[in-house]
Structure 1
Amino acid sequence: MAQLTFYGAVAGVTGSMYLLQTDHSNLLLDCGLFQGRREEEEANLKPLPFAVSSLDAVVLSHAHLDHSGRLPLLVAEGYSGPIYMTKPSGDLIEVLLKDAASLQERDVEWENKRLRRAGKPEVEPLYRAEDVQETLKLCQGLNYQQRISITEDVEVRFLDAGHILGSAIVELYISERGVEKKLVFSGDLGNSQAALLRDPEAVQSADVLLLESTYGDRDHRSMEDTLQEFEDVILEASENGGNILIPSFAVGRTQEIIFRLGELYQQGKLHQQAIFLDSPMAIAVTEIYHRYQNIYNAEDKAAIETASLTASAKERSLHTFLPILRYSISTDESMALNKVERGAIIIAGSGMCNGGRIRHHLKHNLWRKQSHVIFVGFQAMGTPGRALVDGARYFKIAGEEVIVKAAIHTLGGFSAHASQTQLIEWLGHFEGEKPRLFLVHGEENAKQALATVATTHGWRPHIAGLGEKVKF
């Protein structure tokens, strides 16, 4: 009998990790970082709750660090088996894990300076760049719909989850004593209103289903209304001459915003002189998106191709769709933008303004009443982005307080996650006897709300607990 143990993304939305044990195999499904408040991130420092030497394979749903970020730790502790994922996810985690290692090494370097001055023992980063290199050697990329055997009694197939490039719904087929059982992990399901990617694929059957519940308690604002407000802000800024700052996440959200700006450009509604993507990571990710245009949704792919007829098929991309897009790669190029006082749109990380180049642009623009800041992603409590959204009058950076005179806008429709209604609609594709349903990857109120609604549709959902074991 198979057993599933929930080791992460059960008390919140990060640290995704589940251990599947069968008669002949031990598989790890995701190996993500805990992210958020300090006490939440301290969970990353705890020993892994299983014997790494017992693992036969690892399966990754997608590249976001809350699903992939502890893979190098796994390898540093001795894992040397295969890590299965989609091919785009393999390209993305190279960028994300290298950046994560670099940030950890930098943060530890600063911390150790403080500890040395205090005469205290130094600390080590969670993992280093060399651990990432060893991890990448183990990655095996698969195509969507490709079903392969990964251990003696388990096969895997990835379906398109539509969340970010390469994101997957994971199907695991387990053969035990002549009987096949099927475990399905939704991964993070995408918002069907989002640009570029396809809608999450339907699944009709399973014995056990793990379903994310990030937005299990709400629906998103309609994309039509969101895009209209986006257009209104762009127009207002062009009329008063101010810059527009867009704090954005490097994977998914940035590429969506570039596409939406491209739509406005193609419609003749974008009057800004230039758009700057000021994030080396987001630039690298955007180039990866360019390589996988074959898995864009048909409508948006056709729009890019139609607008780029003068370019060769190989050259057609988000860049040709939005030809006034400029990359700011070096630090000098980024700093040069501080001298631009009007007519520019600057997209930079981090998405919650708690780090990255966006903070310097805020310093040079927040005090100008002509400036606009557009938040296109969730702002967690305690972050600088959330403070601005909540009406902070001052923004503090490097010990300096900057008065907030810029207009602050929040556009809630640009979510990369399925809403409550979309999650219930996805569940509606299951036929016959419903699988055992476990809700994961959500805050408590979101899981409870989704459980209540799912019950009215004939499901018997269970909210999984940390360390809980389920036999099937």
Structure 2
Amino acid sequence: MTMTLAFLGAAGEVTGSSHLLTVDGWRLLLDCGLIQGGKKEAARNREPFDFDPSSIDAVILSHAHIDHSGRLPMLVKAGFDGPIFTHKATRELCDIMLRDAAMLQLRQTERANEKRQSRGEPLLEPIYTEEDVDEAMSLFVDLEYEQLMELSPAVTVQLRDAGHILGSAIIELWLKSGSAHKKLVFSGDLGRCDMPVIRDPSFIDQADLVVMESTYGDRVHRGWQETLDELKAIFARALESNHGNILIPAFSVGRAQELLYLFHLYGKEWDLSRWSVYLDSPMATRATGVYVRNSNLCDAEFHRYRRHHPSQHPLLTKVNFVPTTEESMALNEIDRGLIIIAGSGMCNGGRIRCHLEHNLWRQEADIIICGYQAVGTPGRLLVDGAQELKIRGKPVEVRARIHTIGGLSAHADREELIHWYRQFSAAPPVVLVHGEPEAQQTLLRHIEPYCSHGVIAQKFDTLDLGQLPELVWLPPQSF
């Protein structure tokens, strides 16, 4: 009888979520995400899986963000043909995000091949195509929150709202192996309480083991009112200094919709009538449609607003959607008076790159960074004070004002992570994943007084769940 959990991705780093659960030979993958960052990190996505994809019986996907879902088409291409269980809203968002990822892969591969051909090197194939996405999407199976589903005689699952983005889930798993019965809780990415649009993360009482994200384990976000005041001040200063453009690199799912909602609610207070607001992201536009169709998943404040303002949808008004490349390029002919929300959120692709090229060197421009920036990404370089960025092979001087707004993060901070964990009774052991080493060490130090046993997972660590709560690690093994 065996019951093991192996950490194969987002172990010692934030992205590339992938955890392999084995119960008496039945194999379940928790998430299957792309590794994000610089060129070195992205190249790792071309490496084969650490296991035989055809041996996996099922996948449970916590949410649609590409660092959790982005290798699913590769998994299917490599032989996986089982069900992919996730929330309905996550399935809808993945249908958008995975197709966009396939298109980006194609473009990046074409650019890389131009250089490789000139050097006489072998040409690359995209890691997956839209046809591979079609195959992956055909395997998705919808689960509702709090719906118990028996996946096998040994594994039962239930999703709970993680409060991170629409459809995001905490995964509860009840496991049986012989006489051993264990409950595993995987946090996925945890959101924050009292944030706009999305409901608060669910609290859970019982677990034998908690596998918890730690992205912001080393910091405490600004309070919500402080964040609103900070945004208001940025817009006011921009008006005073020649009304230059404001660029907001934003994740197309979650952050973009949150910003649209805030601009609608606070437009008058922030004097946004003096700006033209553009959402320049076809993917974010399509994702906004998913939010509108699944508004039953939004929080009580959102529903109260809709009841009192039935003719004004807060995600669809006071914003100009930019569908075509030509319309996006036309925005670069305007040097002031625009607020442009565009992807990608880490500035490593998408239309934001073109807008940075035309605005980053302007001292009257402002760049608002409002989400996690992986090591090696252009967004991280801006946060860390880079004096120039290379865009399309050319250096662009950074003269615009750079603002980091941590209070808009969709990830729980250190205190919020600890608060979520402390709702479990009996202080179950906790394994930290999805974090940079410094963040994880800090969170572990702060959570240890409250937990029976806390550790940080490293890649290829394998835990013998049958020996909980002792946290017995198995020797290195093949998967």
TM-score interval, smaller chain? over 0.9
Residue of structure 2 equivalent to 1:247 = 249
User: Residue 463 of structure 1 aligns with which residue?
Assistant: 456
Supply the distance in 2 between the matched residues of 1:399 and 1:124 (Cα, whole angstroms).
Answer: 23
TM-score, normalization: structure 1?
A: 0.93
Higher mean alpha-carbon deviation, 103-112 vs 368-377, is at 368-377
Paired amino acid for 2:246: I
CA RMSD of aligned residues (A): 2.0
Q: Structure 2 counterpart of 1:246, which letter?
A: I
Alignment partners' CA distance in 2, 1:251 and 1:162: 13
1:441 is aligned to 434
Structure 1 stretch displaced more, 403-412 or 328-337 = 403-412
**C-alpha distance 327-209 of structure 1, shift in aligned 2 (>3 A):** same
C-alpha distance in 1 between matches for 2:410 and 2:270: 27
Residues 30, 61 of structure 1: 8 Å contact kept = yes
1:153-192 → structure 2 map (5 Å cutoff): 153-177=154-178, 179-192=180-193
Match of 2:62?
61
Seen in structure 2, the aligned counterparts of structure 1 residues 121 and 449 have a Cα distance that, compared at 3 Å, is same
Q: Output the CA distance in 2 between the equivalents of 1:347 and 1:362.
A: 12
Give the match for residue 351 of structure 1. Answer: 345
| Distance (Å, rounded) in 1 between the aligned partners of 2:459 and 2:361 | 45
CA contact (8 A) 1:216 1:447 kept: yes
CA 183–400 in structure 1, closer or farther in 2 if over 3 Å, else same = closer
Specify the alignment match of 1:425 in structure 2. 419
* Structure 1 stretch displaced more, 70-79 or 401-410: 401-410
Instruction: In structure 2, give the amino acid aligned to 1:196.
Output: V
Q: For residues 184-209 of structure 1, give each alpha carbon's deviation from its aligned partner in whole angstroms, at most 9, with x where no partner exists.
A: 10101012243211111011011121
- 2: CA distance, partners of 1:244 / 1:149: 49
- Partner residue in 2 for 1:331: 325
Structure 1 range deviating more: 74-83 or 271-280:
271-280
Residue 29 of structure 1 corresponds to which residue in structure 2? 30
Q: Is 2:89 the partner of 1:100?
A: no
Matching residue of 1:285: 287
Q: Is the 8 A contact 2:220 2:415 kept in 1?
A: yes
Unpaired stretches in structure 2, ≥5 consecutive residues: 467-479
Query: Aligned-pair distance for 1:40?
Result: 2.7
- Shift in Å, 1:112: 2.2
1:213 counterpart = 2:209: no
1:363 aligns with 2:357: yes
CA shift digits 1:32-83 (9 cap, x unpaired): 1111133333332222122222221111111111111111111001111100
Letter in 1 for 2:333: K
Q: Could you tell me which of 290, 315, 318 is aligned with 1:318?
A: 315
Secondary structure of the residue aligned to 1:318 is: coil
Check the 8 A contact 2:427/2:450 in 1, yes or no: no
**Alignment CA distance shift 1:335-1:40 (3 Å):** closer
Separation in structure 1 between the aligned mates of residue 138 and residue 296 of structure 2, nearest angstrom: 25
Shift in Å, 1:174: 1.5
- Whole-Å Cα distance in 1 between the matches of residues 386 and 37 of structure 2? 21
Deviation at 1:277, TM superposition (A): 0.4
C-alpha separation in 2, matches of 1:114 and 1:280: 29
Distance 1:149 1:380, change over 3 A: closer
Aligned amino acid, residue 360 of structure 1: C
SS in structure 2 of the partner of residue 282 of structure 1: helix
Letter aligned with residue 294 of structure 2: Y
Deviations 1:393-425 (A, max 9, x none): 545434555554433322121111111101111
Report matched runs for 1:85-124 at 5 Å: 85-124=86-125
Residue 9 of structure 1, CA deviation: 0.8
The more displaced of 361-370 and 6-15 is: 361-370
Q: CA deviation at 1:390?
A: 4.3
Distance 1:392 1:113, change over 3 A: closer
Measure, in 1, the Cα distance between the counterparts of 2:463 and 2:238: 55
AA of the residue aligned to 1:11: G
CA distance in structure 2 between the aligned counterparts of 1:430 and 1:156, rounded to whole angstroms: 18
- Aligned-pair distance for 1:300? 2.7
Q: 2:276 aligns with which of 249, 267, 274?
A: 274
Aligned partner of 2:227 in structure 1 is 226
- Indicate conservation of the 8 Å contact 1:273/1:324, yes or no: no
> CA 1:205–1:30 in 2, change beyond 3 Å: closer, same or farther?
same
Classify 1:394/1:57 alpha carbon distance in 2 versus 1 (closer, same or farther; 3 Å).
Answer: closer
The answer for unaligned runs of 5 or more in structure 1 is none
What is the CA–CA distance in structure 2 between the aligned matches of 1:434 and 1:389, rounded to whole Å?
36
Equivalent-residue separation in structure 1 for 2:343 and 2:455 (angstroms) = 37
Q: Does the C-alpha gap of structure 1 residues 149 and 262 become closer, same or farther in structure 2, counting only changes over 3 Å?
A: same
Opposite residue 68 of structure 1, the aligned amino acid is S
- What SS class does the counterpart of residue 256 from structure 2 fall into? helix
Rounded to whole Å, the distance in 2 between the matches of 1:24 and 1:384 is 43
CA distance in 2 between counterparts of 1:266 and 1:180 reads: 56
1:293 and 1:10 mapped to 2: Cα distance? 34
Deviations 1:430-455 (A, max 9, x none): 11x33231111111111111111111
Task: Select which of 392, 400, 409 maps to 1:406.
Answer: 400
The SS at the match of 2:408 is coil
- Residues 426 and 81 (structure 1), Cα distance of their counterparts in 2 relative to 1, 3 Å cut: same
Per-residue CA deviations over 1:224-273 (Å, capped at 9, x if unaligned) read 11110101112233344322211111111111111111111255742234
Moved more, 378-387 or 193-202: 378-387
In structure 1, give the amino acid aligned to 2:353. Answer: R
In 2, the alpha carbon distance for the partners of 1:426 and 1:275 equals 36
In the alignment, does 2:410 pair up with 1:416? yes
Deviation at 1:340, TM superposition (A): 2.6
**Equivalent of 1:261, from 239, 260, 263?**
263
Shift of 1:462: 1.5
Contact 1:349 1:357 in 2 (8 A): yes
Of residues 237-246 and 340-349 in structure 1, the stretch that sits farther from structure 2 once superposed is 237-246
**8 Å Cα contact 1:56-1:151 kept in structure 2:** no
- SS of aligned partner of 2:157: strand
What is the number of residues matched between the two proteins?
463
Change (3 A) 1:151 1:328: same
Distance 1:369 1:394 in 2: 13
**What CA distance in whole angstroms lies between the structure 2 residues aligned with 1:438 and 1:120?**
43
